[in-house]
Structures are given as structure tokens and as C-alpha cells.
């Protein structure tokens, strides 16, 4: 009788232990503040874009009343002027940005604060970042497609697999965001029919050099800007 009792107790403890292990295994991580890692002072990342279209729901067949199988409509080719990849190398307040379009052409920009510079066949050019200027949404002081997006527990949806990796899923307005739960860096951002996938590389170890022609123009324009500002 005593042996039977101990056997029962050991078996019960074993079952309880297995249930605890299973519960711990099934438990998914939950996000904690800060919910998104800040843009690094020194960083190197590439964003790849693609057009996406959500699948249409099945529709009832008038013949038998069953739902007809439907598939996602074909994704139209992206316009030549839309970006394929954007590579950013950041050191402090300097960014080197390479924009490659779907037509295969690439343009390189140097960004300092709101100044955007590029070298052209006729000489260096300089502009101010704005929603109406090139490279438009390609240039941002934050992460691409995440300006103005709310990422906290109010927009958190779930912890689930995304492209084979565990991720925190957020939805802010029309924007879906998946964030790596370890690094807290963005993995994918889907805004309506555009999806941007992030890949972070080894950050640079030295400050980003500005091409000489651009540096001379920037120095000239900054001096003129300071002179005008001091007169106000």
C-alpha cells in the first residue's frame, strides 16, 4: 500500500512537472518598453521593397452554394521610378543613402540633418528634405515607412512567426510592423500595398566621408545660412 502511494505521488509530480515545462515552452514573449530600438548613431542597413496584394475572400458559387476557391490577384510590376532597395550607412548626423530603382538605376545621396546632397554630371547639387523633394520618403531621420507610426501596447497585436522567425506584430492605422523581440529592430513594415523588409549589417567603425565636391558646397551653403539667420 505504501509503495503504491509513493508511486502515485511520484507519477503526479512527474505529470505536474511536464505540464509546467509545456506551459513554459508554449509561453510567448511579450513586448516591453522601449518597443522599438532607436536609430543607431552608427549603423548600416538595407531596406528591400516589394508590392503586395492581399488575397480576396472566397465567394459563394451560385451552382452549389459552396465557397469558390480564389487566389490572390497577380501583383502588377512596380513602376520603374519606385525603389527596389535603399541602403543607408549612418555615422552620427551623416547618412550615405543609395537608392536603387526597379529600372536598375542607382543614385547616391549624402544627408546631413535636413540637407540632401548628390553629385551630378554638372556638379554637386544640394536640397532641403521635404515631402515634395527627392528622394521623398526614401529620406528620413527615422526608419523608412515608420514616421508617425505608433508602436506600443495599444497597437500590439500578437507574438507570432513572421517569415519563419518569431516577431512582435503591431498595427497602427494602415501600417503593419513586425519587430525582432531580441534586438527590437524592425523586420518588416507593410503600408497598404508596399512591404519593406529590413536587413541590418555590421555598422561602420569610422565617420562617413563626404565627397569633396559635396563637402565644399555644403560648407558654402551652411555659411550662407548662418549669415542669414544671424540677421533675423
Average pLDDT for 191-220: 92
Q: What is the DSSP letter of 61?
A: -
**Does position 12 have pLDDT exceeding 50, yes or no?**
no
Question: What confidence category does residue 127 fall into, taking pLDDT thresholds of 50, 70 and 90?
Answer: confident
The pLDDT value recorded for residue 71 is: 47
**Contacts of residue 176, Cβ cutoff 8 Å, sequence gap at least 6:** 169, 170, 188, 189, 190, 191
Neighbour tally for 198: CB within 10 Å:
20
The highest-confidence range among 31-40, 60-69, 97-106, 110-119, by mean pLDDT, is 31-40
pTM above 0.85, yes or no: no
Question: Minimal CA–CA distance to 90: which of 124, 154, 47, 132?
Answer: 47
Going by DSSP bridges, is the β-strand pair 175-179/186-191 parallel, antiparallel, or unpaired? antiparallel
Strand partners, 99: 86, 107
Angle, CA of 76, 69 and 56, to the nearest 5°: 45
- How far apart (Å, rounded) are the C-alpha atoms in residues 44 and 182? 18
- Spell out a b/e string for 40-69, using b for 16 or more CB atoms within 10 Å of the CB, else e: eeebbbbbbbeeeeeeeeeeeeeeeeeeee
* Phi, psi dihedral angles at 100 (to 5 degrees): -110, 125
Please say if the pLDDT value at position 60 is more than 50: no
Task: Kindly state the helix (H) or strand (E) to which residue 94 belongs, with its residue range.
Answer: strand 94-101
pLDDT, tens digit, 9 for 90 and up, residues 133-150: 555 455 567 888 898 899
pLDDT band at 52 (very low <50, low <70, confident <90, very high): confident
CA torsion 156→160→162→167, rounded to 10°?
60
Position with higher pLDDT, 195 vs 127: 195
More confident residue, 79 or 229: 229
DSSP for 10-51 reads: HHHHHHHHHHHHHHHHHPPP---SS-SPPPPSEEEEEEEEEE
What CATH architecture applies to the domain 42-53+70-230? Clam (2.50)
Local structure of 177: helix, strand or coil: strand
Comparing 7-16, 50-59, 173-182, the range with the smallest average pLDDT is 7-16
Residues 158-192: tens digit of each pLDDT: 999 999 999 999 999 999 999 999 999 999 999 98
Range with the largest mean pLDDT of 74-78, 96-100, 150-154: 150-154
Q: Where are the domains of the chain?
A: 42-53+70-230
Which residues are registered as beta bridge partners of 116?
111, 127
pLDDT at 28 over 60: yes
What are the distances in angstroms from CA 203 to CA 39, 41, 105, 207? 12, 9, 25, 11
pLDDT digits (tens, 9 = 90+) for 16-26: 544 543 444 46
Higher pLDDT pick, 163 / 64: 163
Amino acid at each position: 500500500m505504501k509503495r503504491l502511494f509513493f508511486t502515485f505521488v511520484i507519477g503526479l509530480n512527474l505529470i505536474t512537472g511536464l505540464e509546467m515545462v509545456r506551459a513554459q515552452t508554449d509561453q510567448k514573449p511579450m513586448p516591453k518598453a522601449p518597443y522599438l530600438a532607436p536609430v543607431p548613431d552608427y549603423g548600416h542597413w538595407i531596406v528591400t521593397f516589394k508590392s503586395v496584394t492581399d488575397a480576396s475572400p472566397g465567394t459563394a458559387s451560385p451552382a452549389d452554394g459552396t465557397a469558390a476557391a480564389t487566389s490572390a490577384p497577380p501583383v502588377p510590376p512596380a513602376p520603374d521610378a519606385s525603389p527596389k532597395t535603399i541602403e543607408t550607412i549612418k555615422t552620427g548626423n551623416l547618412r550615405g543613402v543609395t537608392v536603387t530603382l526597379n529600372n536598375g538605376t542607382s543614385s547616391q545621396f549624402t544627408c546631413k540633418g535636413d540637407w540632401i546632397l548628390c553629385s551630378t554630371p554638372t556638379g554637386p547639387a544640394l536640397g532641403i528634405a521635404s515631402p515634395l523633394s527627392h528622394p521623398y520618403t526614401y529620406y528620413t531621420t527615422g526608419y523608412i515607412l515608420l514616421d508617425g507610426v505608433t508602436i506600443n501596447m495599444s497597437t500590439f497585436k500578437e507574438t507570432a512567426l513572421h517569415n519563419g522567425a518569431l516577431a512582435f506584430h503591431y498595427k497602427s492605422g494602415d501600417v503593419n510592423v513586425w519587430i525582432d523581440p531580441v534586438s527590437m529592430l524592425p523586420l518588416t513594415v507593410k503600408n497598404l500595398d508596399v512591404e519593406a523588409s529590413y536587413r541590418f549589417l555590421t555598422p561602420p567603425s569610422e565617420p562617413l566621408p563626404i565627397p569633396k565636391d559635396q563637402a565644399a558646397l555644403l560648407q558654402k551653403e551652411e555659411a550662407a545660412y548662418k549669415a542669414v539667420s544671424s540677421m533675423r
